[in-house]
Amino acid sequence: MKPKDLMVQAEKARKASYSPYSKFAVGAALLTKSGRVVLGCNVENSSFGLACCAERTAIFKAVSEGDQEFVAIAVTAGKGHGAAPCGACRQVLHEFSPDMWVYFHDDDGGIVRKRVNALLSNGFRLHARGGKR
Ligand code: THU
């Protein structure tokens, strides 16, 4: 699927955004290795710190439905609003598919294409320590 086509899906997902506090609506469309497109939007809360970004909504939906490998994600806050994924979302994407593509708008309405491991170098991985302290 072309970046532009996945971005159209992200724009659709954005319409469901619950963002009465920031008034910053974000949509994401996640392409799984199994060929599904899973949509996500940001979901805010009266307790501001509980907001969940569109990218994480999409990833958590997909994982809870059995998909753990991803090809690409498109993210948009609307054309003309550059919206690269936040650091927390980069780490969550990295957990599952460090080499997946991330598509997001630049400020001029163009689509930027980067791999997660380029957006987040040396992403954290938990290695078991064999019980030693
Ligand atoms: N937001 C996202 O959905 N994705 C990001 O990568 C950055 C920020 C949301 C969270 C919050 O609802 C609003 O944008 C303002 O920060």
Instruction: Kindly list the domain boundaries of the chain, sorted by start residue.
Output: 3-96
Ligand 1: which residue has its CA nearest to atom 13?
24
- The set of catalytic residues is 55
Atom of ligand 1 minimally distant from the CA of 42: 3
Q: Which residues are near ligand 1 (CB < 6 Å)?
A: 19, 22, 24, 26, 42, 44, 51, 53-55, 85-86, 89
| Confidence band of 107 (pLDDT split at 50, 70, 90) | confident
The predicted structure's pLDDT at residue 132: 59
Atom of ligand 1 minimally distant from the CA of 22: 15
Give burial (CB, 10 Å; 0-12/13-18/19+) of 61.
Answer: middle
The predicted structure's pLDDT at residue 133: 54
CATH class of 3-96: alpha beta
The predicted structure's pLDDT at residue 131: 60
- The pair phi, psi for residue 93, each rounded to 5°, is -65, -45
| Confidence band of 108 (pLDDT split at 50, 70, 90) | confident
Model pLDDT for residues 73-106, shown as the tens digit of each residue: 999 999 778 789 999 999 999 999 999 999 999 9
- Do residues 74 and 7 lie in contact, with contact meaning Cβ atoms separated by under 8 Å? yes
Model pLDDT for residues 31-82, shown as the tens digit of each residue: 999 999 999 999 999 999 999 999 999 999 999 999 999 999 999 999 778 7
Q: Look at residues 64, 75, 21 and name the one whose alpha carbon lies nearest to residue 44.
A: 21
